[in-house]
Amino acid sequence: MNLPRIVIAGLSGGSGKTLVSLGVVRALARSGLAVKPCKKGPDYIDAWWLALAAGHPATNLDPYFLDAPMLRSLFWTQCGLAGDGARTDAAPGPSWGEQPGLPGPSVPYDLAVIEGNRGLFDGRDLSGSSSTAELARILGAPVVVVMDCTKMTRTAAAIVSGLRHFEQGVHIAGVILNRTAGPRHRGVLRETIEHYTDVPVLGILPKIADNPIPERHMGLVSGMEHEACVAGLDRVADIMAEHVDLHRLRQVACAAPPPQGPVANLWSLLPGAAHAAPEGPTPANADQGTDVPHAAPPLRPRIGYVHDAALWFYYHENLLALRHAGAELVRLSLLDDAEWPQLDGLYLGGGFPETLAAPLSANRPALDRLRALSESGLPIYAECGGFMVLGRSIVMDGIEHPMADIFPVRTVFHPKPQGLGYVDAAAVLENPFHPVGATFRGHEFHYSRCVPCDAPSGTSGASGASEASGGAPSVPSALRLTAQSGHVTGMGDGRDGLLLRNTLAAYTHIFAPAVPHWAPAMVRAAREHRMARASKA
């Protein structure tokens, strides 16, 4: 089996590839095609918009997190063409997060559209490792390049020729010319590119006066907050349908070769996967890794995850990994007064809590519930925005908004990024989620800085607490980070992952397939908490 696929790349950031990707995906989906959207790199916002445009969950593909065999397994598994061929992504539509891990419709995808990041060959070093070009080679996907042609004519042909011959194994299958000035400009561009190169021009876009999808400090505005998001996507799709040859684009995608040899299902390669399919419980011996026939199934612990307008940065694969490790997942919100079911664990992702700090702070019952759950010893794992909610307060535009007050820190918002890029993390304290000494890769993107304050009542005698030193909060950090970009990381000096009882909160985002111990460890901790609670009943 095979799947038509293309990579939409740019010459640099800001070339227009995101708008082109969204418009192409939306236009193809409106024509009745089942489009699998993918995003290269650690990006939640573009991935969410791609999922909304397609009506199907997006998959992040990152050569920094996964090696080539694992990337291929991830791609083909989420496209339903690896292992037993069963699709493991969720039901279609922007509400997919409500039922993570449920099989999608039986109809297979018609094609995959993969949006790159930065410039096509931009990587982490001289060899361009982790670049969009490297991903295209790994997946055997032809590349369509979006070029900003502002004040450019014949030079465009030289650039295309250079792209075509720069690296072996990267198939430049077409270009889409962006921000063109008028008919004469477009005619010269097309004529020179097709005369001097063998790369076809698949589309020529005019200058768009205003961005149909507005932006904010971290990129595109969250579609969960913007009422006109669907209208904006449809407007972009109309532009692509008018100015891009979608039929030829599909022909390019259909020319992608089939995978070379069988590709393993991703979940069969991860710890616990053989013991916990999405539809059933894990066997009793899953944690020990032994084979005990006729063993009774273990408890399926209930892990909640907050998914609302404040916290919605979740890799789809992180939720799937928890299900495959044996968890029952429940979607929750911190912005309403709905009752929560009894939980065995809690996962707080990232998002934009700073923009909703006032309503979050006003919902004291929800914040008090978070603190009570932490004090009960519930395993809680929080990333970035979730970390901010668990602190004493969020300071936004000089206004302090009280939060759950689990950790004695304030997170203060700044106009420029305070943490940006990939990090290597090492676990340095015993905790429920990362074995001591374990090393793993993650990433950060936050505009807030963690500022220590006096410890709240009840924390000074907590197990594992330490005296503040060098401006550190009076609870220890469980992770030590090394920034791959040289940028400030974690709390400003490489420390991250505040730990109190069974609550760990960090600026670092993780991608579960690249941190294979995380999901089984969290499920194990949740199961143990449930059993301990039952023994006291």
The 10s digit of each residue's pLDDT in 88-105 is 554 433 333 333 333 344
Within-domain flag for 144: yes
pLDDT at 142 over 60: yes
Q: How confident is the model at residue 484 (pLDDT cuts 50, 70, 90)?
A: low
Q: How confident is the model at residue 260 (pLDDT cuts 50, 70, 90)?
A: confident
Within-domain flag for 443: yes
Within-domain flag for 292: no
Domain final residue pick, 254, 283, 314: 254
Residues 411-439: what's their mean pLDDT? 85
Within-domain flag for 74: no
pLDDT at 486: 56
Within-domain flag for 78: no
CA-based angle 109:114:116, to the nearest 5? 175
Residues 387-415: what's their mean pLDDT? 90
- The number of distinct structural domains making up the chain is 2
Q: Return the percentage of the chain with pLDDT > 90, whole number.
A: 59
Residues 445 and 531 placed together within one structural domain of the fold: yes
Within-domain flag for 277: no
User: Catalytic positions, please?
Assistant: 384
pTM as predicted: 0.85
Question: Across the beta sheet with 328-332, what order do the strands follow?
Answer: 328-332, 302-306, 345-348, 380-383, 503-506, 495-500, 477-483, 419-427, 439-446
State the pairing for strand pair 477-483/419-427: antiparallel
The 10s digit of each residue's pLDDT in 196-218 is 999 999 999 999 887 777 654 44
pLDDT at 227 over 60: no
Domain final residue pick, 222, 254, 286: 254
Residues 248 and 331 placed together within one structural domain of the fold: no
Domain final residue pick, 238, 254, 270: 254
Residues 407 and 350 placed together within one structural domain of the fold: yes
Residues 201 and 308 placed together within one structural domain of the fold: no
Question: Residue 191's domain is classified under what CATH number?
Answer: 3.40.50.300
The answer to whether residues 365 and 338 touch, using CB atoms and an 8 Å cutoff, is no
Closest Cα to residue 519, out of 149, 339, 267? 267
Question: Across the beta sheet with 407-413, what order do the strands follow?
Answer: 399-402, 391-396, 407-413, 448-452
Contacts for 72-76: CB closer than 8 Å, 24+ residues apart: 72/138, 72/139, 72/259, 72/263, 73/263, 73/264, 73/265, 73/266, 73/269, 74/266, 74/317, 74/513, 75/38, 75/112, 75/139, 76/3, 76/259, 76/263
Residues 334 and 393 placed together within one structural domain of the fold: yes
pLDDT at 465: 28
| Residue 48 belongs to domain spanning | 5-54+111-254
pLDDT at 282 over 90: no
Lowest mean pLDDT among 17-21, 64-68, 446-450: 446-450
Residues 36 and 153 placed together within one structural domain of the fold: yes
pLDDT at 288: 37
Between 460 and 88, name the one with better pLDDT. Answer: 88
The 10s digit of each residue's pLDDT in 164-189 is 999 999 999 999 999 999 999 999 99
Q: How confident is the model at residue 519 (pLDDT cuts 50, 70, 90)?
A: very high
Question: Residue 498's domain is classified under what CATH number?
Answer: 3.40.50.880
Q: How confident is the model at residue 287 (pLDDT cuts 50, 70, 90)?
A: very low
pLDDT at 143 over 70: yes
pLDDT at 151 over 70: yes
Residues 240 and 311 placed together within one structural domain of the fold: no
Residues 363 and 223 placed together within one structural domain of the fold: no
Residues 455 and 353 placed together within one structural domain of the fold: yes
Within-domain flag for 21: yes
Residues 215 and 319 placed together within one structural domain of the fold: no
The average confidence (pLDDT) of the chain is: 83
Residues 374 and 473 placed together within one structural domain of the fold: yes
pLDDT at 124: 84
Residues 152 and 33 placed together within one structural domain of the fold: yes
Within-domain flag for 274: no
pLDDT at 452: 76
pLDDT at 119: 93
